[in-house]
């Protein structure tokens, strides 16, 4: 059902935790399944220097959060904004159809955290 990469990121999540003085925080949820995902960003010179996540949800939600942080760490804000749910799924070698919404949450959480960062900094 799940790929080896999904299982690896679920069992050994990368970048899990909180960043107290994050430059941007994005929280998104899916009322249908109950998954809640929060991403914290530290941004210096328009580059994501650190990223952490906290997720309440199924294994796929944890795995998509974990891989999403790996995909954006070290990237510019604009590069991170271009990370799609498709890129998240590809990085995990796919997701079951019933779990595709988890990859959408990851994309939305990244965008929400960047939007929060831009609002705090007064950036368009």
C-alpha to C-alpha distance for 3 and 21, rounded to whole angstroms: 35
**pLDDT for the residue numbered 124:** 73
For residues 85 and 91, what is the distance between their CA atoms, to the nearest angstrom?
A: 10
Is 58 marked active-site?
A: no
Report d(CA 14, CA 42) in Å as an integer.
16
* Predicted TM-score of the model (pTM): 0.95
pLDDT at 33: 80
pLDDT at 46: 96
List the one residue out of 41, 70, 69, 37 whose CA is nearest residue 55.
37
Q: Which residue among 41, 62, 68, 102 is the active-site one? A: 102
**Taking the domain 4-118, which CATH number applies?**
3.90.1010.10
Reply yes or no on whether 33 is catalytic.
yes
CA distances from 69 to 1, 6, 14, 122 (A): 23, 14, 8, 24
The residue ranges of DSSP E strands in 45-114, in sequence order, are: 47-56
Among 7, 33, 36, 87, the one annotated catalytic: 33
- Profile the chain (124 residues) by mean pLDDT over runs of 10 residues: 96 97 96 90 97 96 98 98 97 96 96 97 82
């Amino acid at each position: 059902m799940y790929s080896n990469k999904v299982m690896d990121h679920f069992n050994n999540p990368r970048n899990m935790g909180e960043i107290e003085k994050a430059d941007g925080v994005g929280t998104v949820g899916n009322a249908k399944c109950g998954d809640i995902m929060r991403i914290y960003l530290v941004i210096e010179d328009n580059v994501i220097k650190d990223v952490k996540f906290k997720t309440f949800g199924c294994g796929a939600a944890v795995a998509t959060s974990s891989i999403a942080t790996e995909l954006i760490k070290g990237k510019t804000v604009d590069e991170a904004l271009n990370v799609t749910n498709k890129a998240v799924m590809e990085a995990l070698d796919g997701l079951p159809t019933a779990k595709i919404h988890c990859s959408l949450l990851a994309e939305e959480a990244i965008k929400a955290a960047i939007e929060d960062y831009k609002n705090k900094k007064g950036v368009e």
